[in-house]
C-alpha cells in the first residue's frame, strides 16, 4: 500500500521514517509540506521520497498521485478540513493525525476494524490514544459513569501545531473517552511540563464505577495495555491499577452520578526515538497508531 504524508513537521517526519524503517506493508510514496526549507522535506528527498512544498495542491499534481492509496494528514485541525475537502473527489483514504474529527475516532486496540471502510479516520489525540484503551478496558468489565484523564507531556515536545490545537485536544479527547472508551461522561486535561531535562509523557486515568470485581478490572487493563504496547513499544503501566472507595461527599461522586469506586491507572509513554527524542512519547504514539491503522488497511486489502 502506497501512502503520502501531508505535513513535514515533527509528526509527519517521524511517520515517514517509521514507514521507511520497516513497516513492510506501507510504502512512503510522497512527503508534502508548505515550507521548502523544512527538515522533513530535506530528509525525504535524501531518502528518495518524492516531495512537494505546495501543500495538498502539490500532492494532487504529483506524478504517481493516482497510485497512492492512503494520505496521512499531520498538519493541524483547521488545515485538515481544507485538505479533506480538496482530496474528497479522488477517493483516497485519509488518516487524520489532527484533532479535526472529520471522520470517526479510531483507536487501533479498541475499534479499528469497525471503521476500515471510512474515507477519513481520525486518530483522536495523543492523550486519547494513550487513555481511551484503559477506559475501554474498565468499561468491558463494568459501566464507567465518569472518566477523567490528565495527559502530561514535555513542553519541548509541544510544537506550534500541538499548541494551536489545545482546545481541540480537550474537546476531541473528552468525546473519544465517551464514544470509543464507553464512559457515560468524559473529561480531558493536558499539561505542558516545562521541566528540564524533559520528562516522558505521563497519563493518569480515573474512572468512577459502581462496586465491581477489582481483579477482573485490573486484568482487563493489563491485557489492553499489552495490546497497545504491541504497536507502541514504549507504552507501559507505571504500576498496578489502584482502587479506592470515595467518601459520599467527595465532589467526584457527584460527577459519577453517585458511583464511589475510583479506578486509577498511571501510564508512561516513551518514544521510539526514530526521529523525535525519546521523551516525545506524545508524538510517537500518534505516528505509531496511524501507521498501525494503515497496516491494517493493507492487511484487509490482501484478505488477511
Burial class (CB in 10 A: 0-12, 13-18, 19+), 154: buried
What was the pLDDT predicted at 125?
94
Residues 234 and 217 in one domain: yes
One domain for residues 25 and 166: no
Does position 62 have pLDDT exceeding 80, yes or no?
Answer: yes
Q: Are residues 179 and 221 in the same domain?
A: yes
For residue 2, give the H/E element and its range: strand 2-6
Q: Which residue blocks in the chain are alpha helix, DSSP H?
A: 10-22, 39-46, 55-61, 77-87, 108-111, 126-139, 160-164, 166-179, 214-229, 251-255, 281-301
Same-domain pairing of 101 and 241:
no
Q: Are strands 201-209 and 144-154 parallel, antiparallel or unpaired?
A: antiparallel
- Residues designated as active site: 126
Q: What is the predicted pLDDT for the residue at 72?
A: 98
User: Would the pLDDT of 86 be above 80?
Assistant: yes
50 lies in the same domain as 114: yes
Q: Same domain, yes or no, for 236 and 138?
A: yes
Average pLDDT, the chain: 95
Q: Are 93 and 116 in contact (CB under 8 A)?
A: no
Indicate if the pLDDT at residue 189 is higher than 90: yes
Q: Is 302 helix (H, G, I), strand (E, B) or coil?
A: coil
Higher-pLDDT residue of 42, 100: 42
- Banded model confidence at residue 67, pLDDT cuts 50, 70, 90: very high
> What are the distances in angstroms from CA 112 to CA 50, 290, 297?
29, 11, 9
**Both 198 and 294 in a single domain?**
no
Percent of the chain at pLDDT > 90 equals 91
Residue-wise pLDDT for 257-286, tens only, equals 999 999 999 999 999 999 999 999 999 999
> What is the per-residue pLDDT for 304?
63
User: Looking at residue 294, which CATH number applies to its domain?
Assistant: 3.40.50.720
- Mean pLDDT over 142-167 rounds to 91
Report the C-alpha gap between 258 and 242 in whole angstroms: 19
The residue written with cell numbers 493493507 in the block is 298
Q: Give 296 or 168, the one with higher predicted confidence.
A: 296
Instruction: Report how many domains make up the chain.
Output: 2
Annotated binding site for NAD(+): 8-11, 157-165, 282
| Across 148-172, average pLDDT | 90
Which residue is it, cell 485536544? 169
Check whether residue 135 and residue 118 sit in a common domain: no
Q: What pLDDT score was predicted for residue 22?
A: 79
Kindly report, residue by residue over 197-247, the tens digit of the pLDDT: 999 999 999 999 999 999 999 999 999 999 999 999 999 999 999 999 999
Residue 140 and residue 253 share a domain = yes
> CA gyration radius for the chain?
19
CATH number at residue 131: 3.30.360.10
| Confidence (pTM) | 0.95
In a shared domain, residues 249 and 293: no
pLDDT band at 160 (very low <50, low <70, confident <90, very high): confident
- Give pLDDT tens digits for 1-21: 999 999 999 999 999 999 999
Same-domain pairing of 177 and 47: no
DSSP letters along 4-39, please? EEE--SHHHHHHHHHHHHH-SS-EEEEEE-S-TT-H
Question: Which domain does 174 fall in, by range?
Answer: 126-278
Residues 292 and 180 grouped into a single domain:
no
* Structure-model confidence comparison of residues 101 and 162, the more confident one: 101
Amino acid at each position: 500500500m502506497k501512502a503520502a504524508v501531508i505535513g513535514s513537521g515533527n509528526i509527519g517526519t517521524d511517520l515517514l521514517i517509521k514507514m521507511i524503517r520497516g513497516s513492510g506493508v506501507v510504502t512512503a510514496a510522497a512527503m508534502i509540506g508548505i515550507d521548502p526549507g523544512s527538515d522533513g522535506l530535506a530528509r525525504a528527498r535524501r531518502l528518495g521520497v518524492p516531495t512537494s512544498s505546495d501543500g495538498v495542491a502539490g500532492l494532487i499534481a504529483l506524478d504517481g498521485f493516482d497510485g497512492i492509496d492512503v494520505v496521512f494528514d499531520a498538519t493541524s485541525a483547521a488545515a485538515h478540513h481544507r485538505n479533506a475537502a480538496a482530496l474528497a473527489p479522488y477517493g483516497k483514504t485519509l488518516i487524520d493525525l489532527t484533532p479535526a474529527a472529520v471522520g470517526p475516532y479510531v483507536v487501533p486496540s479498541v475499534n479499528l476494524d469497525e471503521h476500515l471502510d471510512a474515507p477519513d479516520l481520525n486518530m483522536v489525540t495523543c492523550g486519547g490514544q494513550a487513555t481511551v484503551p484503559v477506559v475501554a478496558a474498565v468499561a468491558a468489565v463494568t459501566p464507567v459513569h465518569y472518566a477523567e484523564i490528565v495527559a502530561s507531556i514535555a513542553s519541548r515536545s509541544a510544537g506550534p501545531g500541538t499548541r494551536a490545537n489545545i482546545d481541540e485536544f480537550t474537546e476531541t479527547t473528552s468525546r473519544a473517552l465517551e464514544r470509543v472508551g464507553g464512559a457515560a461522561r468524559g473529561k480531558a486535561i493536558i499539561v505542558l511540563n516545562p521541566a528540564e531535562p524533559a520528562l516522558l509523557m505521563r497519563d493518569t486515568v480515573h474512572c468512577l464505577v459502581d462496586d465491581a470485581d477489582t481483579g477482573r478490572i485490573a486484568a482487563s487493563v493489563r491485557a489492553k495495555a499489552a495490546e497497545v504496547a504491541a504497536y507502541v513499544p514504549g507504552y507501559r503501566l507505571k504500576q498496578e491499577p489502584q482502587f479506592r472507595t470515595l467518601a459520599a461527599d467527595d465532589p467526584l461522586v457527584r460527577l459519577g452520578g453517585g458511583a464511589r469506586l475510583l479506578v486509577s491507572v498511571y501510564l508512561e509513554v516513551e518514544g521510539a526515538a526514530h526521529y523525535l527524542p525519546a521523551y516525545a512519547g506524545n508524538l510517537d504514539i500518534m505516528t505509531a497508531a496511524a501507521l498501525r491503522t494503515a497496516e491494517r488497511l493493507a492487511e484487509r486489502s490482501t484478505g488477511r
